[in-house]
Amino acid sequence: MIARQLVVRGVVQGVGYRAALVAEARRLGVAGWVRNRPDGAVEAHVIGEADAVEALVGWARLGPRLAAVSNVEVSETTPDGSVAFTVER
């Protein structure tokens, strides 16, 4: 199991980015969470098998149809114990 912290910038709030990320994470069997940040970015904590996490990171660089991702910062982190993928408020 690996964990990654993502900060996604661009047009990523108000376009269904979080909901689409949750759906993709669940499809891939990845745990963690996603939330909007006050600065307009979306932040996610992603935990799972390396291949699944890397697939989700790749998806995050594109996002859903209405999003316009300009940058995704990815950093290694420690798993936080999440067992499902949820939206944090």
Contacts of 55 (CB under 8 A, 6+ apart): 28
**What separation, in Å, do the N-terminal and C-terminal C-alpha atoms of the chain show?**
25
pLDDT at 9: 98
Report how far residue 3's alpha carbon sits from residue 16's, in angstroms, rounded to the nearest whole number: 23
pLDDT digits (tens, 9 = 90+) for 56-79: 999 999 999 999 999 999 999 999
pLDDT at 86: 96
Look at the pTM and tell me if it is higher than 0.85: yes
pLDDT digits (tens, 9 = 90+) for 13-60: 999 999 999 999 999 999 999 999 999 999 999 999 999 999 999 999
Q: Which residues are catalytic?
A: 18, 36
Give yes or no for residue 89 having a pLDDT over 90: no
